[in-house]
Amino acid sequence: MNAPASVSRGAGKGWLAAHRWLILRRLSQLTVLALFVSGPWFGLWIAKGNLASSLTLGVLPLTDPYLFLQSLAAGFLPGASALLGAAIVVAFYAAFGGRLYCAWVCPVNPLTDAAAWLRRRLGLKSGRAPAAATRYWVLAGSLLAAALSGTLVWEWVNPVSIVQRSLIFGLSGSLAVVLALFAYDLLVASRGWCGHLCPMGAFYGLLGQASLVRVSAAARGRCDDCLDCFAVCPEPQVIRPALKRAGQDSPLILDRDCTACGRCIDVCDKDVFRFTHRFDQRSDS
Amino acid sequence: MARKPTAQPPETAGASPASAARRKFLNGIAAAAGGGVLLTAASWLAVRPASANPALALRPPGALGEAAFLSACVRCGLCVRDCPYDTLKLAPQGDGVAPGTPFFTARDVPCEMCDDIPCVKACPTGALNPKLTDIQQAEMGLAVLSDHESCLNFLGLRCDVCYRVCPVIDKAITLEKLHNPRSDRHALLLPTVHSEHCTGCGKCEKACVLPEAAIKVMPVKLARGALPEHYRKGWEEKEKHGGSLIGEQLELPVRGLEDKAYGDVRVAAPPLDAPSAPSGMNSRWQP
């Protein structure tokens, strides 16, 4: 986006109101990690395992369906517990919003958000982002590679897995991955990882195509074209159809790439956006 | 993918001729496909050397064979969390072991062989085979007395520590008595591992008193040799058959040593304490 880096973002409504969803999101991301590390750190066991597969309070199994799928592609049918866990996760994200995972759970998100923030602040325009559809090819490629090699190839390099596992299990050696990811997003491609390459985001996006939780540009009549939402949105291409009626009349952001992070709601001085469900077609214009 | 990739911004389609828009669209697809393929291919190339070699790390009990294990393990660490002795660890990045998979280092913390095998119960996928219910049947690795030059028992001492700590003592490790040809009057009690009973728990390696263990637990694939399939052991066949398969053998004396106990098998050997035995020289050791 070529929007000028606005310094008075959301200033009209006070700092707290302009950061509400951001704070809630950071709390959500921290809570997820805290549920996992409270056991090893304080002996308070809530969730065991990590985001790949876990057991919460000894009863609730959860398994990442993308990992499940890779395992299937590699020619192994995971056991009943993993199957049930994957089914629960699939049901949740399909119903509520695929990329809620990206914005509210994934621990890579704060990292790439920080890189994007710094890039905006420094006014960096360097580098070139790959096509946004590259992630679907990486997704297909990771499954194909698993099928051809009979092992979870992508999990050797998957930064999302590496980062969440390293945080939860206190593993060393992943600092290089974190730095590389940060440098890539900062210097080479704006929103490069989460917005263009990550096959996990692509997977969850596909999963949540018909999900309920949506952002609506319900008060789009109030939009004064300040471009703050485009500047802050991790997937700016999703806003236009809803806000500017480009190819659709509905005020709902229905693109599967929307992560439902709520930053557009935060930064908009005119309170154009709000969270709602996919059947809410109310609009002021 | 299910849907067409994100639609091109309409302004480019409207401002330029249709063919230019189509070319740009196709270029976009090609770039995305090329990037995606490149990224996955590169990751595969990075992985190949690591997965081609047998991992030196020991896997938890019940782990499928390395190739199957790497297709089944989702690297969740539930087995690690449920290991009561902190034996199991998740592999960090770039350590030779597939990153995020569980392993243990026998010399640091060996497997205590819990009766209820909590690590196997914790595994959600079956990468640790739930059919393993008797820990004695585990094959985490195989102990190998790899350094005959340093092993104290091979040097003629009675260390025996690996033998004593073995949870499957007298089955997985036995002490085989041999003549010590150096002193010619002592025994060597050689720790000997039997693959049929060794679970690869690693207690022997952990307990070895040397600064660097002379007995090491290795992945079974690395440790074991294999006889050709057509080989038969004569003594086993003989036992199965209830007698020699080729009948009684003709026994002949060594030429020139007829009627001597040490050259003619037809002559009974004199008792061990016979005064005629040459002192200090002949301990009747037979290889």
| B281 pLDDT above the threshold of 70 | no
| B205 pLDDT above the threshold of 50 | yes
What pLDDT, on the 0 to 100 scale, is given for residue B257? Answer: 80
Q: Are A217 and A223 in contact (CB under 8 A)?
A: yes
Prediction ipTM score? 0.87
Give residue B242's pLDDT band: very low, low, confident or very high (50, 70, 90): confident
Closest alpha carbon to A139 in A73, A41, A46, A94? A73
pLDDT in tens, A219-265: 888 899 899 899 899 998 899 898 888 888 889 998 999 999 999 99
| B251 pLDDT above the threshold of 90 | no
Separation in Å, CA of A244 to nearest CA in chain B: 12
Considering the four listed CATH numbers 1.10.3210, 3.30.70, 3.10.20, 2.60.40, the one that applies to the domain covering A212-277 is 3.30.70
Kindly calculate the radius of gyration of chain B based on its CA atoms and give it in whole angstroms.
31
Q: Where are the beta strands (DSSP E) in A235-273?
A: none
Q: Do B74 and A137 touch (CB under 8 A)?
A: no
Output the CA–CA distances (angstroms, integers) from residue A273 to A195, A253, A282, B170, B214, in the order listed: 21, 10, 12, 75, 70
* Spatial distance between the Cα atoms of B190 and B175, rounded to a whole number of angstroms: 5
Closest alpha carbon to B202 in B50, B55, B61, B54? B61
- Residue A79 with chain B: CB contacts under 8 Å: 123-126, 130
Residues 6+ apart with CB under 8 A from B147: B212, B214, B215
What pLDDT, on the 0 to 100 scale, is given for residue B7? Answer: 45
Instruction: Between B214 and B257, name the one with better pLDDT.
Output: B214
* Spatial distance between the Cα atoms of B261 and B268, rounded to a whole number of angstroms: 6
* Spatial distance between the Cα atoms of A62 and B79, rounded to a whole number of angstroms: 15
Separation in Å, CA of A272 to nearest CA in chain B: 23
pLDDT in tens, B78-133: 999 999 999 999 988 877 788 899 999 999 999 999 999 999 999 999 999 999 99
- Residue A140 with chain B: CB contacts under 8 Å: 1, 36
Give residue B34's pLDDT band: very low, low, confident or very high (50, 70, 90): confident
Give residue A127's pLDDT band: very low, low, confident or very high (50, 70, 90): confident
Q: Do B71 and A150 touch (CB under 8 A)?
A: yes
Task: Compute the count of residue pairs across chains A and B with CB atoms less than 8 Å apart.
Answer: 200
What pLDDT, on the 0 to 100 scale, is given for residue A4? Answer: 45
Q: Are B224 and B142 in contact (CB under 8 A)?
A: yes
| A39 pLDDT above the threshold of 80 | yes
Q: Do A146 and B71 touch (CB under 8 A)?
A: yes
CATH 3.30.70 in chain A: give the residue spans.
Answer: 212-277
Give residue B255's pLDDT band: very low, low, confident or very high (50, 70, 90): confident
Q: Are A123 and A186 in contact (CB under 8 A)?
A: no
Strand partners, B218: B142
Give the helix ranges, DSSP H, for A124-232: 134-149, 159-169, 175-183, 192, 199-207, 228-232
Mean pLDDT of chain A: 89
Q: Do A82 and B126 touch (CB under 8 A)?
A: yes
pLDDT in tens, B161-201: 999 999 999 999 999 999 998 888 899 999 999 999 999 99
What pLDDT, on the 0 to 100 scale, is given for residue A282? Answer: 85
Give residue B13's pLDDT band: very low, low, confident or very high (50, 70, 90): very low
Strand partners, B179: B187
Chain A residue with Cα closest to B44: A153
3-state secondary structure (DSSP) of residue A186: helix
Amino acid at residue number A278:
R
* Spatial distance between the Cα atoms of B272 and A103, rounded to a whole number of angstroms: 85
pLDDT in tens, A188-211: 888 899 999 999 999 999 999 999
Q: Do A247 and B10 touch (CB under 8 A)?
A: yes
- Structure token digits, residue B135: 């820990």
- HEC string of chain B equals CCCCCCCCCHHHHHHCCHHHHHHHHHHHHHHHHHHHHHHHHHHHHHHHHHHHCCCCCECCCCECCHHHHHHHCCCCCHHHHHCCCCCCEECCCCCCCCCCCEEECCCCCCCCCCCCCHHHHHCCCCCECCCCCCHHHCCCCEEEECCCCCCCCCCCCCCCHHHHHCCCECCCEEEEEEEECCCCCEEEEEEEECCCCCCCCCHHHHHCCCCCCCEEEECHHHHCCCCCCCCCCHHHHHHHHCCCCCCCCCCCCCCCCCCCCCCCCCCCCCCCCCCCCCCCCCCCCCC
Count, residues in chain A? 285
pTM, full prediction: 0.80
* Spatial distance between the Cα atoms of A236 and A232, rounded to a whole number of angstroms: 8
In percent, how much of chain B has pLDDT > 90?
Answer: 52
Q: Do B51 and A151 touch (CB under 8 A)?
A: yes
Q: Which residue has the tokens 């990739």?
A: B5
Q: Where are the beta strands (DSSP E) in A51-181?
A: 53-56, 60-63
**Torsion region of A116: left, alpha or beta (phi above 0 gives left; psi -120 to 50 gives alpha):** alpha
Give residue A126's pLDDT band: very low, low, confident or very high (50, 70, 90): confident
Instruction: Between A200 and A174, name the one with better pLDDT.
Output: A200
3-state secondary structure (DSSP) of residue A122: helix
Per mean pLDDT, which range of A30-39, A67-76, A235-244, B246-255 is the poorest?
B246-255
The arithmetic mean of pLDDT across residues B267-280, rounded, is: 60
What pLDDT, on the 0 to 100 scale, is given for residue B49? Answer: 53
Separation in Å, CA of B69 to nearest CA in chain A: 8
- Residue B70 with chain A: CB contacts under 8 Å: 74, 150-152
Q: Which residue has the tokens 């720790």?
A: B191
pLDDT in tens, A91-125: 999 999 889 999 999 999 999 999 999 998 998 88
Q: Is A200 on the interface with B (CB under 8 A)?
A: no
What pLDDT, on the 0 to 100 scale, is given for residue B273? Answer: 60
